[in-house]
Amino acid sequence: MSLPIEAHDSLSRLSISGLFFLIPISDAAMVLLSRLITRRSPFQADKGHLHHRLIQTSVPLRYILITFTIIDLAGLVTGFALVHSGAMRKSIFPVITLFTHVCVVGYMIVFIEKATKRRVQSFFQHLDLGHVLYFLKYKVTKEDGSKVPSYLLNRISARINSEIRVTDVCYIEEPDILFVGLKLHNETLRNIATRLEAVFNSEKLRGHLEVERGEFVKIKNPAMNTQLKRVK
């Protein structure tokens, strides 16, 4: 891409252009690096892109788009500031700026991926230590008993994830079922259920807890492999 920009050299001019495309440049760089590190073809498709990682964290799509917009706007503002700054046109500062912006976005991609994996791993580690995992399953409907739209169920899931601790998890198991996994320490299931009911009420929805609830316990039998037992 060629822009009528006065710069020290072509590399600086391309760097300013690159600031306008922070998301695709950073995402492509991190995905290619990840594939090469794991000895895969850089052209092999997978779900390691930034938007895939964000979707896996149950973040609503509109918030993902808002995040992308903020990142790209930051690049646009920086790029225009460099273009209209006479002191920057004759230096390698645009190259350094693009590199740091890509590194920040790349770090965000890695951080999101690691956070998602650790959240799941923490549940298994909790069981390995002999502790109990509790779960609640809600069938969600509107007040008149009709089906809840998918966008509204995604919003409820996101709100519940903000109500429970970061080590706990809530996800959509079926089109109208929410699964909430909990590691309790200082709070009872009753208190948590009360807070979640308040979320449903604020959205004018009904959350039927009678679907299923109980606990997961890891048991060991000398004559058999380790098993995971679910107690309702």
Residue 226's pLDDT is what?
47
Distance CA 94, CA 79 (A): 8
pLDDT score recorded for residue 103: 83
121 shares its domain with 106: yes
Is the domain of 54 the same as that of 145?
Answer: no
Q: Answer whether residue 113 is part of any domain.
A: yes
Considering the domain architecture, whether residues 43 and 105 belong to the same structural domain is answered as yes
- Cα–Cα dist 42/32, whole Å: 5
- Residue 1 in this model has a pLDDT that exceeds 50: no
Same domain, 98 and 169: no
Q: Tell which wins on pLDDT, 13 or 86.
A: 13
Start-to-end CA span in the chain (Å): 61
Residue 145, pLDDT > 50, answer yes
- How remote is the C-alpha of 165 from its chain's centroid? 15
CATH of the domain at 211: 3.30.70
The confidence score (pLDDT) of residue 107 equals 78
pLDDT at res. 211 = 61
22 and 103 share one domain? yes
Let me know if residue 63 belongs to a domain.
yes
Residue 98 lies in a domain: yes
Q: Do residues 95 and 11 make contact, with C-beta atoms less than 8 angstroms apart? A: yes
CB 211 within 8 A of CB 138: yes
Q: How confident is the model over 154-164, as a mean pLDDT? A: 78
Helix (H) or strand (E) holding 201: helix 189-202
Backbone angles phi, psi at 161, to 5 degrees: -60, -30
30, 100: one domain = yes
Q: Which helix (H) or strand (E) holds 119?
A: helix 93-128
Tokens of 125: 């580690």
* Per-residue pLDDT, 212: 59
Q: Are 63 and 137 in the same domain?
A: no
Note the pLDDT tens digit of each residue in 24-83. 888 888 888 877 876 777 787 777 777 777 766 666 778 778 888 888 888 888 887 777
Give me the chain's average pLDDT, please: 76
In a domain, 93, yes or no: yes
Percentage of residues of the chain with pLDDT beyond 90: 0
Average pLDDT in the 81-107 region?
75
Q: What is the residue type of 175?
A: P
Is residue 216 within 8 Å of residue 230, measured between CB atoms? Answer: yes
Q: Do both 17 and 116 map to the same domain? A: yes
Count of domains in the chain? Answer: 2
Q: Tell me how far apart the alpha carbons of residues 199 and 218 are, in angstroms, rounded to a whole number.
A: 31
- The answer on pLDDT for 222 being more than 60 is no
| pLDDT at residue 3, rounded to an integer | 56
pTM greater than 0.75 (yes/no): no
3 is a domain residue: no
d(CA 145, CA 76): 47
Same domain, 78 and 179: no
- Range of the structural domain that residue 70 is part of: 10-125
Q: Determine, yes or no, domain membership for 201.
A: yes
Same domain flag for 175 and 72: no
- Min mean pLDDT across 165-169, 211-215, 227-231 is at 227-231
Q: What is the spatial distance between Cα 119 and Cα 167, in angstroms, rounded to a whole number?
A: 6
Quote the DSSP letter at residue 86: G
List all residues 6 or more positions away from 167 whose beta carbon is below 8 Å from its beta carbon. 119, 122, 183
Question: Which of 125, 149, 170 is at the close of a domain?
Answer: 125
Domain final residue pick, 125, 158, 184: 125
1 located within any domain: no
Residues 21 and 111 in one domain: yes
Is residue 2 in some structural domain?
A: no
Q: Looking at the structure, do residues 108 and 37 belong to the same domain, yes or no?
A: yes
On the question of pLDDT at 99 being above 70, the answer is yes
User: Pairing mode, if any, of strands 227-231 and 169-174?
Assistant: unpaired
End position of a domain, from candidates 94, 125, 156: 125
| Bigger pLDDT: 194 vs 158 | 194
**Sheet architecture: strand order including 205-219:** 169-174, 177-182, 133-142, 205-219, 227-231
